[in-house]
Structures are given as C-alpha cells and as structure tokens.
Amino acid sequence: DHHVNYGSGSGLQDRVAFVQNDPGQHDASIRLADLQVSDTGTYQCRVKKNTVAVHEVIVTVQEKPATPQCWTEGELIEGSSILLRCYSR
C-alpha cells in the first residue's frame, strides 16, 4: 500500500523510510536510522499484490558498552606480579 505502519508510540516516524522512493517497483526495503535499544522487536513486511505475503524479522539492538575503568593491583616492581582489573557497566 506504499506506506509504513509505525505502531503506536514507537517513535519511528522520523527514523524509518523506504530505501527506494517507489516501493511498488519490487523493493519495499526499509531503512531504520539512529537505532536505539527501544527499537528491539519484531518487524513485519506485508506485500499485497494478487495475494498477501508476510515476512517477519526480529531485530535486537544492543547498547554500546561504557568505557571500561581499569586499574592495577600490586607493586610495580621488576620481577613481581601485578593484577590489571577492568570494569564496565
């Protein structure tokens, strides 16, 4: 039908568009811009010509890890052992 159904309260209206200007030319691919963790979900492509064809894709958006905090434990003396610890949320 040449339109995207965004769902209620999805916030996708300004971030999703067809890849081709005219999806009726056999390419109804969409592009999701500025992905967010909240975009995780099931997306469905429904094409209607003579019959209806439906394809679902599960998209999982993972959050980029925070910069790790690292420190050493032990004395920095030649020949001794130290422990390098790192932590990230």
Q: Does domain 1-63 have CATH number 2.60.40.10?
A: yes
In the predicted structure, residue 36 carries a pLDDT above the cut 80:
yes
Q: What percent of the chain has pLDDT over 90?
A: 22
| Digit-coded pLDDT (tens) for 50-69 | 888 888 999 999 988 889 99
Q: What percent of the chain has pLDDT over 70?
A: 93
Beta strands in 1-89 (DSSP E): 16-18, 30-32, 41-48, 52-59, 69-73, 83-87
How far apart CA 43 and CA 34 sit, in angstroms, is 16
